[in-house]
A and B are shown apart, each in its own frame.
Chain A
């Protein structure tokens, strides 16, 4: 049987399966004469899903906040790196901040140029399938424009008035034998009951006393304790990210674990890069200088990272408290049971 000729519709984008994914799967869309092909590739194997035009019931494009969140994160990191690079009068620090800041700036510009992000779902009689490669609103609309005449050729067309009429006054339908296939739906939103966010915010606030003690008492044990605190903070950041999925926590609280992981990771990476850079430049210089707060670069990074931790921790605690207060106020009053005579 001759192979079908396909034309590429979209480039490959990541299909995210859960929070932690072992292998990244890239999904792309291809067009044949009578069907749409979704290709999921791991690089070494491909999986195919075909959606015939006569079977497609609906296409839903939902705009998301992805652009705004990415713009805030990359913009914040770019500003921090630029400020640090200008303030610190040190070549090594400038290079380090540049190595982090320039990619963040490029990412920011790229995301703004590509436009709002979206999630697209295709529905047939037996499935509701996400199309990860339609992750930008502009691209999703272009693809929809291209598919519309092909689907219309296979099925015909419906105006919005006809759709509303049919939904409002459904004609007599033949009885369905057996359960009708339920479309896969997103999990319901539930109220947040976890503790990870509270612990995370407390750990972020604990960074300040730990830093002050480190400054006052220079000890290898305390530096080890600082690293341990960082590792535990990262752990609770990840736990908070997992616990907050599909909850009604406000977005202000939800973004703090993300910011914590990104900023913490970047500062850790910057300190490692700076350390390697300094040792390579002056191999004979004493390495105590790298951990000493007399070093202006180390001092600045310590002050900025501690300030960020305190800000994020305080901000998170305030908003978490407001969320809990709002939930308590919204909970129905317990029925007062009259005493039995």
Chain B
């Protein structure tokens, strides 16, 4: 439980003397920085005590997959293994074992745990747009942009809503660039053939 007063975010001095949850700035007594502080009930709440898991008392009783001497209280919602109170990891109403939780986080199966995503649509669009500054690079980057856009078309995009417009633009631009190179190569070959003939 946090019973210490809040601290100034500039000089770290304790802020005593009240003035919290008021819609105005109050000066820090040490550095005189103007602060508005909003404190919520969680500040004074004790963290919930963890459970150790009950020992099996009756032979034949279901036991935890990871602790054979502990009584199982529920199955894992990910893999179905029985879990004791210690292994039970509750997440937004669902119960997982530590393994499923870690796999869900690293493989992105539990989106609420996902803390990183690569934006392939932005990468594809950047590959299609930026090399236009020095057009000769597009002979390499246009196929790369096309590949990235097609390969990762169904990959998860940003967690916040995002359409596929970047993919579409990248494919259009890359296709135009490839077409331009093909036309340019055709005329170059024709010109070389005529000059040799």
A188 CA to B4 CA, complexed, in Å = 19
Query: Is A297 engaged at the interface, CB distance under 8 Å to the other chain?
Result: no
If A8-B160, A61-B36 touch, does A159 touch B122 (CB 8 Å cutoff)? no
B residues in contact with A6, CB < 8 Å: 159-161
A58, B111: Cβ atoms under 8 Å?
no
A46, B18: Cβ atoms under 8 Å?
no
Question: Interface residues of A, CB < 8 Å — how many?
Answer: 57
The segment from B20-28, B136-144, B186-194 found at the interface with A is: B20-28
The segment from B8-16, B57-65, B81-89, B175-183 found at the interface with A is: B8-16
Q: Please report which residues of chain A, range 287-319, place their CB below 8 angstroms from some CB of chain B when the two chains form the complex.
A: none
B42 CB contact (under 8 Å) in A41, A54, A166, A173: A54
A residues in contact with B12, CB < 8 Å: 185-186, 188
If A3-B159, A48-B116, A158-B21 touch, does A60 touch B43 (CB 8 Å cutoff)? no
The segment from A149-157, A222-230, A328-336 found at the interface with B is: A149-157
A residues in contact with B8, CB < 8 Å: 62
Q: Interface digits, A233-260 against B, CB 8 Å rule (1 contact, 0 not)? A: 0000000000000000000000000000
B residues in contact with A160, CB < 8 Å: 18-22
A166 CB contact (under 8 Å) in B44, B46, B115: B44
A62, B34: Cβ atoms under 8 Å?
yes
A189 CA to B115 CA, complexed, in Å = 34
Q: Interface digits, A1-22 against B, CB 8 Å rule (1 contact, 0 not)? A: 1011110100000000000000
Which residue of chain B is the closest to A120 with respect to CB atoms? B9
A158, B41: Cβ atoms under 8 Å?
yes
B119 CB contact (under 8 Å) in A45, A57, A156, A183: A45
B residues in contact with A144, CB < 8 Å: 36, 38
B35 CB contact (under 8 Å) in A8, A44, A55, A61: A61
Which residue of chain A is the closest to B121 with respect to CB atoms? A44
A166, B3: Cβ atoms under 8 Å?
yes
If A44-B122, A60-B9 touch, does A164 touch B41 (CB 8 Å cutoff)? no
A189 CA to B46 CA, complexed, in Å = 32
A22 CA to B103 CA, complexed, in Å = 31
B115, A43: Cβ atoms under 8 Å?
no
B159, A167: Cβ atoms under 8 Å?
no
Which residue of chain A is the closest to B2 with respect to CB atoms? A57
Distance in angstroms from B52 CB to nearest chain A CB is 13
Query: Is B39 engaged at the interface, CB distance under 8 Å to the other chain?
Result: yes
B34, A63: Cβ atoms under 8 Å?
yes
A residues in contact with B39, CB < 8 Å: 57-58, 158, 163
Query: Is B164 engaged at the interface, CB distance under 8 Å to the other chain?
Result: no
Task: Beyond the given A45-B119, A58-B43, please list 18 additional residue pairs across the A-B interface where CB-CB is below 8 A.
Answer: A1-B109, A1-B111, A3-B111, A37-B160, A39-B158, A43-B119, A43-B122, A46-B116, A54-B42, A62-B8, A62-B33, A63-B25, A124-B42, A148-B38, A158-B40, A185-B12, A186-B9, A189-B31
Residues of B in contact with A (beta carbons under 8 Å apart) = 1-12, 18-23, 25, 31, 33-44, 46-47, 49, 109-112, 114-119, 122-123, 126, 158-161
Can you list 14 pairs linking A and B with CB atoms under 8 Å apart? Answer: A1-B110, A45-B118, A48-B117, A55-B42, A57-B42, A60-B6, A60-B35, A128-B9, A151-B40, A158-B41, A164-B18, A167-B3, A170-B1, A174-B46
